[in-house]
Amino acid sequence: MSKELLNKLNERRATVGVIGLGYVGLPLAVEFARSGLTVTGFDLDQPRVDTINSGKSYIPDVPTEIVAALVERGKLSASTDFSHLSNIDAVIICVPTPLRKTKEPDISYILAAAEQVKKYLHSPQIVVLESTTYPGTTNEVVLPMLEETGLKLDEAFFLAFSPERVDPGNKQFQTHNIPKVVGGVSPQSTEVAGALYKTIVNDVHTVSSARVAEAAKLLENTFRSVNIGLVNEISQLCYHLGIDSWEVIAAAATKPFGFMAFYPGPGIGGHCIPLDPHYLSWKARLHGFEARFIGLAEEVNSHMPAHVVHLVQDGLNSQSKAVKGSQVLVIGVAYKRDINDVRESPALAIVDQLMHKGANVTYHDPYVAEMSVDGRGSLKSVEMTDQALKNCDCAVIVTDHSELDYARVLTLAPLVVDTRNVTRKLGLAEYEQKVVRL
């Protein structure tokens, strides 16, 4: 069975199905189609499916012209009908894995996708889970579901885990040039999954098991969370000591060994760093181990929006103004630069807390036309006109989108809270007295 699949992959005759066509799934589907394989994307969202089938992209990192060409050549299509999985050689699951309100893993999307795969599982077929999850999910959850069909691992199907590594907005590292970690629930599964990804990725790194691959993904993002938490705490400490944290970091970064520079920010956002460490700490608790670093980092990072609001309050106080009744313009609400994603964005908490204190809050973001604030309805992006900057009492730079004119912000706004250190690079020293930085 493995030889049949390997031959199909090597000869580019295999068909690939990608379940979940979001920031992970669509770029992956496009890369497989570009490599010569025939790809069907599966999603419950009919507008997404229709958009792809019309040759258009809704993901900024995936150009519409590439999607159009692949659709026209018959290499890429999308569907809400999962029965087409019966004709698919390789199935890749790329669905969300959120947290419950209790901060425990919610793998309901994985279970729903696996149920569809189970319905149409056939021999030979390779199934790969890419959704970030706790170590053991592939072996303990997905494998038993597939074996309920009566088909046997390594005899009829193969199963592996390969963590997604997507960095939206990153122009240097995209799917094809990011090394891919692959771990199967059996050696044969690892071999077949490795061959699958070698059709699109320059470097495939195989590991001994799916559990190792699952844990590796969680380590990657926990590493970032913990280090960001450390530097955010240093930033708060430096503020209380009257020291410029950015200058401290720049000085430490001159050391050519033993130091990696991380930078403070208004908090962490997106679908990975704020969530993934909880999957690891939850699994640890099941085994009687408390992951204290992970919990502490989450505590520090989740406090950063409140620290930003404190900076706004201090800045307004220095000008004999109260937060209540002040006009605050939040600049950038996406969770990172040059994307339109507001999931877990610290801007949401900052806006909510400022409103709670009585501020009149508006925002400008060229990528986010409208956003919802829990319990407060929705806000629409306003134009960042000269008048809007002059009329606000404080401008808060939360997301440093590349296209924004920060010199204009610095010169026109009466007070600037800069959480990204973008105004320092402008060289406008005469305006420094009205800037408050992390």
The catalytic site residues sit at 272
CA distance 200 to 177: 9
Question: DSSP of 270-286, one letter per residue?
Answer: SSSTTTHHHHHHHHHHH
CA distance 366 to 389: 16
Q: Residue ranges of the alpha helices (H) in 149-199?
A: 187-198
- Does residue 354 contact residue 312 with C-beta atoms inside 8 Å? yes
Alpha-carbon distances of 193 from 75, 186, 188, 228, 235, rounded to whole Å: 21, 11, 9, 33, 43
**Residues 297, 289, 95, 156, CA torsion sign:** positive
Q: Residue 264 phi/psi, 5° resolution?
A: -70, 165
Q: b or e along 178-193 (b: 16 or more beta carbons within 10 Å of the residue's beta carbon)?
A: bebbbbbbbebbbbbb
Show the tokens assigned to 206: 């195989």
Length of the chain: 438
